[in-house]
């Protein structure tokens, strides 16, 4: 496990690298009492997936996501993006059962484990 207290720039670099080359990496992220596990994806890919999910239900929301994709990205994203994300509670239960898209603040991350956790079914 990588503790972010001593490696703050390492996680930021992982997020920036993913944003630049559209790569995916399995991660487990510790944020206080919360544990999140899933696949780190680029901001662009995140908004494309959000757009796909919203396109069928409402064109206005999908249009807003397209606008977000056009923003200038300086390479230092303040947010990380996960797909197939699960929240794991203190009893080891996960929510949601199928995983979801998740956007979180880089500054809220306390530790990172490379690789997503697989939970027993």
CATH code: domain of residue 72:
2.30.30.100
- Provide the domain limits for residue 104: 2-114
How much is the pLDDT for 37?
Answer: 92
* Cα 87–chain centre separation: 12
**Taking residues 17-28, what's their average pLDDT?**
92
* 121 in any annotated domain: no
pLDDT of residue 39: 95
Q: What is the pTM of this model?
A: 0.77
Q: What is the tally of structural domains in the chain?
A: 1
Residue bearing the bigger pLDDT, 112 or 89: 112
Tracing tokens 């596990």 back to the chain, one arrives at 37
Domain-embedded: residue 38: yes
DSSP annotation string for 21-33: H---EEEEEEETT
Q: What is the pLDDT of residue 115?
A: 83
């Amino acid at each position: 496990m990588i503790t972010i207290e001593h490696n703050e720039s390492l996680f930021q670099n992982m997020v920036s690298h993913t944003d630049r080359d559209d790569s995916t990496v399995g991660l487990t992220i510790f944020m206080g009492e919360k544990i999140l596990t899933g696949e780190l994806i680029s901001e662009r890919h995140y908004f494309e997936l959000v757009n796909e999910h919203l396109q069928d239900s409402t064109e206005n929301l999908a249009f807003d996501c397209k606008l977000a994709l056009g923003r200038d990205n300086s390479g230092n994203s303040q947010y990380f993006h996960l797909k197939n994300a699960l929240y794991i509670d203190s009893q080891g239960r996960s929510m949601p059962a199928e995983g979801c898209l998740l956007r979180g603040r880089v500054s809220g991350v306390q530790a990172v484990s490379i690789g997503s956790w697989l939970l027993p079914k």
